[in-house]
Structure formats: structure tokens, C-alpha cells
Amino acid sequence: MASITYAVLGAGVIGLSTAIELKTRFPDAKVIIAAKYFPGDRSIKYCSPWAGANWLSIATEDQVLHEWEAETYRRLQTIATSVPEAAVTKMDIHAFYDSPPEQAGIFAPGSKKLWYEDLVGGVSQIANADLATGAQFGYVIPTFMINTQGYLAWLNTECLRLGIEMRRSSFDDIRDFFHAVPANAYFNCTGLGSYHLKGVEDKALYPTKGQIMLVESPKVQLEHMYLRSPKRVDSDTTYVFPRNPSGGVILGGCRIDNDWSDKIDIDLAEDIKRRCCALAPELGKPEDLKVVYHCVGLRPGREGGPRMESEVMGGHLVIHNYGASGAGYQASWGMAQKAVDIMQQISQSNL
């Protein structure tokens, strides 16, 4: 019988990755995930199903984020090459920016090099003649497309394969979680849920609403992803992600801070179609696009960045691991690794 138990609250990409990291490092421990929503569920209170998603760093000079995203890039590389059922595809992105390079929010101050150039094996500058109309510059970046439906399903299956226990429960108060699931350490991976979760009630969290749609595959196959934006992080970012392997294309997007609603804006959807067709000729005309569904998701934004730290609450060790904003997929494995490192260091220092 396992003598050590670790309990994870939350089954989004962060909670599932953290549970897998725990069970992989401590195979003899019992790992339990408790959550209201699991892969397959859809709710405005569950961000992970609604992401695009890809790996394209938003970080510029934050070394901590660099480490988390670099670790995740390396893991995605392995997953893309050896686990076809995980629905992660190695794919270039053509990223166009409408601002001059020094104002596009992609370099650390004083630098003219993307921090991840070496990590991804080099990027190439897009020739002026091939830039999207009006764009100032652009790069071709080798990266990954993550089909979130397939990837979450795979993470879920991985948890089951590893013997991780799952419990569907919601808690108004994190202290109720401690009583319901006795454990040696707790991982708080509740995303935006920590805004309301009593005992945590982190008011630095805020939603950044995104709206996307899935359209049927166009007649002309897309060979790469597209992104166009005034700056790397902007409310008018346009993106086109072919959703391998099941087909279809994700079109986005928008970023609206502090909007908690699940309302789909049809005028915005028409604008997204128009922007995407102008960017990716393979899509054809906006009126020819066949929409499978529209959806919105709330990125777990947090002033000051993600919360990654330990806290002792009523004698219980809690590692907070939430607030990934628009980078939860691309930082997931690095965040999982760091959260488990923190727990391990504290456990060893208490021996």
C-alpha cells in the first residue's frame, strides 16, 4: 500500500501534467486528481478545451518563463515524434507583425534575437516580398500545433495508465479539499477557479477572454500555421491553426481582459473570418467557410504572472500552480516540473 499520497486539484492541462509528473517521479506514491471538470467536459469555467493551441512564446526577458517553455518545447518534441495519439504535430508557424521589430514585444530590451531561436533550431526571416500586406516583418518558426481535444484526451488516458485516481468533486473552500482527500502534499491547479476558491481567493487573477471557431478543412490543405498581430500580445491577433490529425482549422482570435461572460460575439466571428481569409489564402472566401462551432474561453490571467509557490495552510503543504494566462499549454510541462521540484525540496529539507 502506498505510504505517500499527493493530491492535485484541477484537471486542466496544468493539473493533468502535474499529476503525470508526480506519478512519473514517484511511481510508488498514490496520486489523486480531484476536479469539477475533466477532459471531455465543456464549460466556461474550464479553459483548457478552448485553446488554439500552439507553442509560441509570449515571454521576452523572464528567465523563469523561458525555462518552463523550453522544457515544454523539448517534451512536445518527444511527444510529437513518438506518441501519434497525443495529437501534437511538429509544424512551422508564419508569424507576421505590423509593428517595427523593436515595438513588437518579441525581444528582450536591447536584444534583436528571439530568446528561443537556438531552442527551436533556428528561425528564418520572411522576405519582404512574401510579407502579408501591411506587415513590417515576419518569421518562420518551427514549432508545434496541439489539437487540444486529442491532447487532453491523451493526458487523461496517460493518467489512467499510470494508475492516477480521479475524483469528480468541486470545493468552495480549499480546506474542504484537505479534509476530503488526506494527502502529504496538495497541488492547487485550479486556474481561474482560484479567484473564488475560499482560502485562496486570489484577486490578482483575471480572465482574458478569447473567441475562436473551428471550420471544416478547406479544399487547399494548409501546410503551416499563420499568425498576424500588431504586437505579440494584442487584442487584434489573428491566427489560423490547422487542427491535425482530425482535420478542420481553428480561426482566432481576440483578447478581452476582465470579461467573465461566455457570450459569443457573432460580429467578432465575422471579423475573425475576414482577417483569417486575408492572411491565409488557402481558406478561400469568408462566405465559403463552413463553421463547425464557435466558442469562447477565459485564459487565467494573473497580475505579476503565474503563481508558483508553496504555502502551509493549517499544517497542509500546498503548492500553487495556476495563472498561466495564454501560455498554459506551452509552459505546462515546465510548470509541472517546477511545482514538483518545490514540493520535493521542501520534503527533503524536512527530513
Interface with ligand FAD by CB under 6 A: which residues? 9-15, 35-37, 46-48, 50-54, 170-171, 189-193, 197, 210, 212, 252-253, 297, 299-300, 322, 324-330
Count of residues making up the chain? 351
Q: How far is the CB of 146 from ligand FAD (least distance, A)?
A: 7
- Smaller CB separation from ligand FAD, 138 or 252: 252
Residue 208 marked in a binding site:
no
Q: How far is the CB of 172 from ligand FAD (least distance, A)?
A: 7
Residue 186 marked in a binding site:
no
Residue 206 marked in a binding site:
no
Please name every residue paired with 125 in a beta bridge, in sequence order, or none if there are none: 139
- Smaller CB separation from ligand FAD, 27 or 74: 74
How far apart (Å, rounded) are the C-alpha atoms in residues 25 and 187? 15
Q: How far is the CB of 163 from ligand FAD (least distance, A)?
A: 20
In 130-194, at which residue ranges do the beta strands (DSSP E only) sit? 137-146, 165-168, 185-188
Q: Which residues contact 132 (CB under 8 A, 6 or more apart)?
A: 96, 138, 228, 278, 279
How far apart (Å, rounded) are the C-alpha atoms in residues 323 and 288? 38
Q: How far is the CB of 136 from ligand FAD (least distance, A)?
A: 23
Residue 190 marked in a binding site:
yes
- Smaller CB separation from ligand FAD, 261 or 347: 261
How far apart (Å, rounded) are the C-alpha atoms in residues 52 and 154? 17
| 3-state DSSP assignment of residue 183 | coil
∠ CA 265-261-335, rounded to 5°? 110
Tell me, what amino acid is at 225? Answer: M
- Smaller CB separation from ligand FAD, 195 or 317: 195
- Smaller CB separation from ligand FAD, 23 or 320: 320
Known binding-site residues for FAD equal 190
Which residues does the annotation place in the binding site?
190, 239, 299, 326
Indicate the annotated binding residues for D-dopa: 239, 299, 326
